[in-house]
Chains A and B, each alone.
Chain A
Amino acid sequence: MARKKRQVSIFEPALLRTAVADSFRKLYPPALARNPVMFVVAVGSALTTFLVLEDLLHRRAALVPLWFSVSVTLWLWFTVLFANFAEAVAEGRGKAQAGALRKMRKESTARRLIPPDDDREMEVPASALRKGDRVVVEAGQVIPGDGEVVEGIASVDESAITGESAPVIRESGGDRSAVTGGTKVLSDRIVVRITTNPGETFLDRMISLVEGAARQKTPNEIALHILLVGLTLIFLLACVTLVPLARYGGLRLPVTTVVALLVCLIPTTIGGLLSAIGIAGMDRLLRKNVLATSGRAVEAAGDVDVLLLDKTGTITLGNRMATELLPAPGVRIEELADAAQLASLADETPEGRSIVVLVKQAYGLRGRNLQELGVTFVPFTAQTRMSGCDLAAPAGALASRERRIRKGAIDAVKRHVTEQGGAFPAETLAAADRIADQGGTPLAVADDERVLGLIHLKDVVKSGMQERFARFRAMGIRTVMITGDNPRTAAAIAREAGVDDFLAEATPETKMRRIREEQEKGKLVAMTGDGTNDAPALAQADVGVAMNTGTQAAKEAGNMVDLDSDPTKLLEVVEVGKQLLMTRGVLTTFSIANDVAKYFAILPALFVGVYPEIAPLDAMRLASPYSAVLSAVIFNALIIILLIPLALRGVAYRPLGAEALLRRSLLLYGVGGVVAPFVGIKLIDLLLAAVGLA
């Protein structure tokens, strides 16, 4: 299946050009004020700009040389622009995708049925449709709005939304009734009841989400902003009071330098990158084809303690597979294999095919000429609960010797052989019980009244699931498998897959109860679902991922939609959430740790004029006081640009457990954050000295 790439490279030239333009557009003060830290930088830059202009106009002897105040001013503005750029780049990718989506939303016409009889139709523009209207869509037409199929069945091309080119079936009733506006009907005719008003459709929501237009600060982001604003105020206080405190010693501090000190100290790195991190988190999810309806949900994903996973399709392959043949006493295994194959050759169910595959692989039996054998297939019916074939008697034999080969559930085959005067061997019955105990399904094979043996059908756990669950365990997340199986089977599969717990014989009610129980214990629960009966549980869960193939109700109830309808995606959603939070954490730590070096660069430079003896405090031995201040400002601005890729990509997540994770991050970003600026500022200073700006 072809998949349209949603991937857009971080630094695609076209995107970068737009981003550069946007960085200037974002200088508009009300936009800047959304980010208090960068707003302070902008105000500081405006102040130094004003001072430069004043110096130029009045031509008076300034406290600092003009080249210095001009360079500092320019780099202060760069600091603001770089932060704007980071946000613009993060938004750019979403905007590019929104553009593609918007093209799909081109005006189409709808064939609205006129109530009350719905026997006549009327052509109206799609934008005139309201909730509750019913429209007809036929092959080749675009579905005019989100809705539910109320009549008919059709194959629909949803590649515009999901990127998946294979058509999907949509039919009235059941869990496959939701259709999305903008998708195309490929065959047949359906009647759709519109469920959203124009402007509120899935496509509209998707556009505004990827564009970031509807972006609101998430709770943790707000709290982090408070921390950053608090730190900014503290440093503002430290810098403002520094002026009179220095005046006491007869030292007149130049305003430009004090502003430079302030900007270097306030947490511009995290302040400049914070919104980019949030946007990039949503974007990373989108590239995994998951649409989060709010940033809040992404954040909550990082906090998840319990994952509720459906067994089928998530933990196990969708279907059971034959894994073993167990002959009855006195029966050769080849004979059983032969009968099993014959009984399954025409069986198109996945189980049937898996029997053929097993027999071929284990016993080398290939398909054979069915015509020669004179085979008549007996399909599975709800009455017999068996399938198989009747073999015509070989030529020359008695006509009555027709062989009837059957396979089916134990009780069905037992009844079948008993009716014909045969008996079901006790050993085989016991073997069937053992298979059930292991979480498998036993199928019996009979040749007329003789029971030949058993086929062991097994739920096959997807490869790599054990490692995956082990990762989650290491992260401190518990996994709970949800299944309709009986507890015995469920326990066996749970053990094999390595999940921590299971919920057997699950119904929507027990699911809901389980979620409530976990939440009462203070845990955050994530789950996936698709059916209408999942909707309450999806709404109750802290992170509810609805499958795109699911019903409209499920999609409305969850706070994320997985366009691929892949239940294992939940695991990736959690990782993205954790990455998002970690990226915020490490950049905050890095930003604050940076300040130590900046003090050692700038403070000696400020005071050395009046107190030359303070020079030893300048640990980096910078070329001159001016180059010291300028280097710190340049470092402070450049680090934003350098960290954009990290902010957009997110820090690599490793499932190590909190303690190890913390130790690693602290070493890298805490200690690194103290050391890096010493190196960086010194290098910039050397460079400035080399070009004569010192």
Chain B
Amino acid sequence: MTLIGWFQILAFFLLILALTRPVGAYLYRVFETADPPLPRLLGPIERLCYRLSGVDPTVEYTWLEYTAALLAFSAVGLLGTYAILRLQHLLPWNPQHFTAVEPTLAWNTAASFTTNTNWQSYAGETTLSHLSQMAGLAWHNFTSAAAGLGVALAVARGLTRRPGPEGPKTLGNFWVDLLRATIYVLLPISIVVALLLVSQGVLQNLSPDRALTTLEGGRQVLAMGPVASQEAIKMLGTNGGGFFNANSAHPFENPTPFTNLLEMLLIFVLPAGLTYTYGRMARDQRQGWALFAAMAVLFLGGVATLYWAESHGNTALAGLAGLATPPAGAGNLEGKEVRFGIAASALFATVTTDASCGAVNAMHDSLTPLGGLVPLVNMHLGEVIFGGVGAGLYGLLVFVVLTVFIAGLMVGRTPEYLGKKIEAREMKLAMLYVLVFPLFVLGLSAWAAVRPYGTSALNNAGPHGLAEILYAYTSGGANNGSAFAGLNANTPWWNSTLGLDMLAGRFFLIVPVLAIAGSMVGKKVVPAGLGTFPTNGWLFAALLVAVVVIVGALTFFPALALAPIVEHFLAAAGKAF
């Protein structure tokens, strides 16, 4: 660990802290006011889209209508992408003449991008045509993020609106949210960032691969393509699906320390900003900051652990190169890019798994066991540490409901949040939400761990192999998409089950969370008083952290104990896998 390393981490956090308020206020203006920004430039585009699609932006949806619109939209996107992938050999912009994508891989990939997971069982540069990348995948990079934003806003509206028991129980218009998110937020930022990335050396062309002669006289094939435009939305939309197989470790995706910082900021900026938007919607900015604080504590705890673990390096290296012990301060550089170093790699690994992004700038498979535990736990906590665009906020709000319910009784009142009572129906839905994720992750992992079609994909034996299985289903269920690698996931079993895992992890959670919003929106609001359980202070933030950690950690601790934890103790005893 070095001072400069800690400084990088701290500087990143402070930048996020500084961006939260302006970004949150901007989002509030886009979604919750009648005059979104840049009316001359973007207003006509928005109105044109309404005219073309026949959407009436003034109509508000109930939770059921909102959910139906979202599911229908996602289903069409899923099928469309599947079709493009299966037919890419017949479609234009296929300079490498790739063949049609194999059915289970196409299913997996379509599910993966529809759900904002961006798990990649394939290597982009050797499987997909430029059209598949730009139309089939980039479409989802925008819309899945926009849909996530929409759900978060709908949930926030459900909690903060006060129509009263007789008022309209509506949560907004899905199409308006989707469109505004794309036009006012995702597209403009992506365009600017793409240009910035190009200035740093990221590729942006439609050329076929280029074969070059290296300085040593050997021949090397360099993959080409529209990278920068993909890269910007890949980070901003917490998608994470890289143009190249090496993802953000590839110098054409993430060439410099500056792009590295920029990419990490893009991952966190919208989820962090949303907490401020939420505070504004709740008419109490401290409500938003309490959520931010809980997220910040979990983030800083994770990155500190990961950085610490990686800096201590690998005891197995002792005795190599004639050294009795590994060189002091060397740490574990295996699988990391030298241009980023340990601190920026540890930070990236934490950020990307906190936020369900899944882009990587280092190989997570090569992290030390405890270091690898951090990304796993981050995902196990339900991707609520800033989380995916929108998904982080609505996920954390479910935990808020749980926290208020468990601890709220302790002040001698039945539990309430923002003045609205939390009752049996909300508990049922919240428990459903909490249950679905481990059901798929643990269930599928346990299945795969004892079946040859599951274990045959493993590159490593022992606890590390189990960690690879667990990581894959966790990453899918949490809609993260990062891979521990070391697992050849491109098999029919893995492709189909991971596809299922991802769809469940997205939509089986969105439905109950929208239902909670639907049942909360019309509740009577009890004015806050001295006896009200406070949800806007440090005490609540701490409590929220405790509930997130206890629910997440207690659920997955047994499985983790068998994988990275036992591996850590074995590694300390000199056994590697």
User: Residues of A with Cβ closer than 8 Å to B?
Assistant: 219-220, 222-224, 226-227, 229-231, 233-235, 237-249, 261, 265, 299, 302-303, 305, 473-478, 521-524, 577-579, 581-582, 584-586, 588-589, 592-593, 595-596, 599, 603, 607, 611, 613-617, 653, 657-659, 661-663, 665-666, 669-670
Residues B537-569 near A (CB distance < 8 A): 537, 539, 543, 546, 550-551, 554-559, 561-562, 565-566, 569
**What's the Cα separation between A238 and B450 when bound, in Å?**
16
With A581-B414, A658-B532 as known contacts, state yes or no: A614 contacts B550, CB within 8 Å. no
Contact check, A596 vs B550: say whether CB atoms are below 8 A apart. Answer: yes
**A8 → chain B closest CB, angstroms:** 26
Residues B518-547 near A (CB distance < 8 A): 524-527, 529-534, 537, 539, 543, 546
**B296 → chain A closest CB, angstroms:** 20
**CB of B575 closer than 8 Å to a CB of A:** yes
- By beta carbon, the residue of chain B nearest A658 is B411
With A305-B526, A613-B570 as known contacts, state yes or no: A582 contacts B412, CB within 8 Å. yes
With A230-B431, A248-B466, A599-B554 as known contacts, state yes or no: A611 contacts B566, CB within 8 Å. yes
With A226-B431, A299-B414, A662-B533 as known contacts, state yes or no: A248 contacts B443, CB within 8 Å. no
**CB of B76 closer than 8 Å to a CB of A:** no
Contact check, A589 vs B406: say whether CB atoms are below 8 A apart. Answer: yes
**What's the Cα separation between A422 and B108 when bound, in Å?**
108
Contact check, B562 vs A522: say whether CB atoms are below 8 A apart. Answer: no
**CB of B462 closer than 8 Å to a CB of A:** yes
What 4 A-B pairs have minimum CB-CB distances, sorted nearest first? A476-B531, A585-B409, A230-B431, A578-B412
- By beta carbon, the residue of chain A nearest B432 is A230
**CB of B424 closer than 8 Å to a CB of A:** yes
B312-339 interface code vs A (CB 8 A; 1 in, 0 out): 0000000000000000000000000000
Contact check, A245 vs B445: say whether CB atoms are below 8 A apart. Answer: yes
**What's the Cα separation between A516 and B291 when bound, in Å?**
36
Contact check, B427 vs A226: say whether CB atoms are below 8 A apart. Answer: yes
**CB of B508 closer than 8 Å to a CB of A:** no
Which B residues lie within 8 Å of A220 (CB)?
A: 409, 414-415, 423
**What's the Cα separation between A593 and B408 when bound, in Å?**
16
User: Residues of B with Cβ closer than 8 Å to A?
Assistant: 402, 405-415, 419, 422-424, 426-428, 430-432, 434-435, 438-439, 442-443, 445-447, 449-450, 455, 462-463, 465-466, 469, 524-527, 529-534, 537, 539, 543, 546, 550-551, 554-559, 561-562, 565-566, 569-570, 572-573, 575
**What's the Cα separation between A515 and B557 when bound, in Å?**
51
Contact check, B442 vs A475: say whether CB atoms are below 8 A apart. Answer: no
Which A residues lie within 8 Å of B554 (CB)?
A: 234-235, 238, 265, 595-596, 599
**B499 → chain A closest CB, angstroms:** 20
Q: List 23 A-B contacts (CB under 8 A).
A: A226-B424, A234-B435, A237-B442, A243-B446, A245-B449, A246-B562, A248-B449, A248-B465, A302-B413, A305-B527, A475-B412, A522-B525, A523-B527, A577-B412, A578-B412, A581-B414, A611-B566, A613-B566, A614-B566, A657-B530, A661-B412, A662-B410, A662-B534
Contact check, B462 vs A230: say whether CB atoms are below 8 A apart. Answer: no
Which B residues lie within 8 Å of A243 (CB)?
A: 446
- By beta carbon, the residue of chain A nearest B431 is A230
Contact check, A617 vs B526: say whether CB atoms are below 8 A apart. Answer: no
Interface centre among B465, B469, B569 (most CB of A within 10 A): B569
* Majority secondary structure of chain B interface residues (helix, strand, loop or mixed): helix
Contact check, B406 vs A588: say whether CB atoms are below 8 A apart. Answer: yes
**What's the Cα separation between A472 and B559 when bound, in Å?**
49
Contact check, A659 vs B539: say whether CB atoms are below 8 A apart. Answer: yes
Which A residues lie within 8 Å of B551 (CB)?
A: 234
With A521-B527, A658-B534 as known contacts, state yes or no: A607 contacts B561, CB within 8 Å. yes
Which A residues lie within 8 Å of B543 (CB)?
A: 666
A581's partner among B413, B430, B534 (CB-CB below 8 A) is B413
Contact check, B413 vs A244: say whether CB atoms are below 8 A apart. Answer: no
**A313 → chain B closest CB, angstroms:** 26
Contact check, A230 vs B407: say whether CB atoms are below 8 A apart. Answer: no
With A237-B438, A237-B442 as known contacts, state yes or no: A302 contacts B406, CB within 8 Å. no
Which B residues lie within 8 Å of A476 (CB)?
A: 529-532
With A226-B427, A241-B445, A595-B554 as known contacts, state yes or no: A659 contacts B408, CB within 8 Å. no
Which A residues lie within 8 Å of B556 (CB)?
A: 238
Contact check, A581 vs B409: say whether CB atoms are below 8 A apart. Answer: yes
Contact check, A247 vs B450: say whether CB atoms are below 8 A apart. Answer: yes
Contact check, A234 vs B562: say whether CB atoms are below 8 A apart. Answer: no
B566's partner among A229, A238, A607 (CB-CB below 8 A) is A607
Contact check, A219 vs B412: say whether CB atoms are below 8 A apart. Answer: no
Contact check, A579 vs B434: say whether CB atoms are below 8 A apart. Answer: no
Contact check, B533 vs A658: say whether CB atoms are below 8 A apart. Answer: yes
B405's partner among A223, A233, A247 (CB-CB below 8 A) is A223
Which A residues lie within 8 Å of B462 (CB)?
A: 249
A603's partner among B414, B434, B561 (CB-CB below 8 A) is B561
**B316 → chain A closest CB, angstroms:** 14
**What's the Cα separation between A476 and B406 when bound, in Å?**
21
Contact check, A223 vs B424: say whether CB atoms are below 8 A apart. Answer: yes
Contact check, A584 vs B532: say whether CB atoms are below 8 A apart. Answer: no
**B405 → chain A closest CB, angstroms:** 6
**What's the Cα separation between A152 and B220 when bound, in Å?**
114
Which B residues lie within 8 Å of A224 (CB)?
A: 405, 409, 427
**What's the Cα separation between A615 and B449 when bound, in Å?**
24
Interface centre among A219, A241, A248, A523 (most CB of B within 10 A): A248
**What's the Cα separation between A524 and B430 when bound, in Å?**
26
- By beta carbon, the residue of chain A nearest B524 is A522
- By beta carbon, the residue of chain A nearest B429 is A226
Contact check, A613 vs B572: say whether CB atoms are below 8 A apart. Answer: yes
- By beta carbon, the residue of chain A nearest B413 is A303
Which A residues lie within 8 Å of B466 (CB)?
A: 245, 248-249
Which A residues lie within 8 Å of B447 (CB)?
A: 244
**B436 → chain A closest CB, angstroms:** 11
**What's the Cα separation between A593 and B543 when bound, in Å?**
12
Contact check, B446 vs A245: say whether CB atoms are below 8 A apart. Answer: yes
B431's partner among A229, A248, A659 (CB-CB below 8 A) is A229
Which A residues lie within 8 Å of B572 (CB)?
A: 613
**What's the Cα separation between A86 and B566 when bound, in Å?**
40
Contact check, A617 vs B537: say whether CB atoms are below 8 A apart. Answer: no
With A302-B414, A658-B532 as known contacts, state yes or no: A585 contacts B557, CB within 8 Å. no
Interface centre among B428, B525, B556 (most CB of A within 10 A): B428
Contact check, B565 vs A522: say whether CB atoms are below 8 A apart. Answer: no
**What's the Cα separation between A233 and B443 when bound, in Å?**
13
With A303-B414, A614-B569, A659-B539 as known contacts, state yes or no: A237 contacts B443, CB within 8 Å. yes
Which A residues lie within 8 Å of B438 (CB)?
A: 234, 237-238
A666's partner among B410, B431, B537, B565 (CB-CB below 8 A) is B410
Interface centre among A475, A616, A662 (most CB of B within 10 A): A662
Interface centre among A237, A522, A593, A663 (most CB of B within 10 A): A522
**A439 → chain B closest CB, angstroms:** 28
Contact check, A611 vs B569: say whether CB atoms are below 8 A apart. Answer: yes
Which B residues lie within 8 Å of A522 (CB)?
A: 419, 524-527
Contact check, A588 vs B409: say whether CB atoms are below 8 A apart. Answer: yes
Which A residues lie within 8 Å of B435 (CB)?
A: 230, 233-234, 237
Contact check, B443 vs A662: say whether CB atoms are below 8 A apart. Answer: no
Contact check, A222 vs B424: say whether CB atoms are below 8 A apart. Answer: yes
**B222 → chain A closest CB, angstroms:** 40
Which A residues lie within 8 Å of B439 (CB)?
A: 237
| 16 more CB-based (< 8 A) A-B contacts, given A302-B413, A522-B419, A613-B573 | A219-B423, A233-B431, A237-B555, A242-B559, A245-B445, A249-B463, A578-B412, A582-B410, A588-B409, A593-B550, A603-B561, A613-B570, A617-B561, A658-B531, A658-B534, A666-B543
With A476-B530, A476-B532 as known contacts, state yes or no: A659 contacts B537, CB within 8 Å. yes
**What's the Cα separation between A238 and B426 when bound, in Å?**
24
**B160 → chain A closest CB, angstroms:** 15
Contact check, A595 vs B413: say whether CB atoms are below 8 A apart. Answer: no
B412's partner among A231, A581, A616, A659 (CB-CB below 8 A) is A581
Which B residues lie within 8 Å of A305 (CB)?
A: 526-527, 529, 531
Contact check, B424 vs A245: say whether CB atoms are below 8 A apart. Answer: no
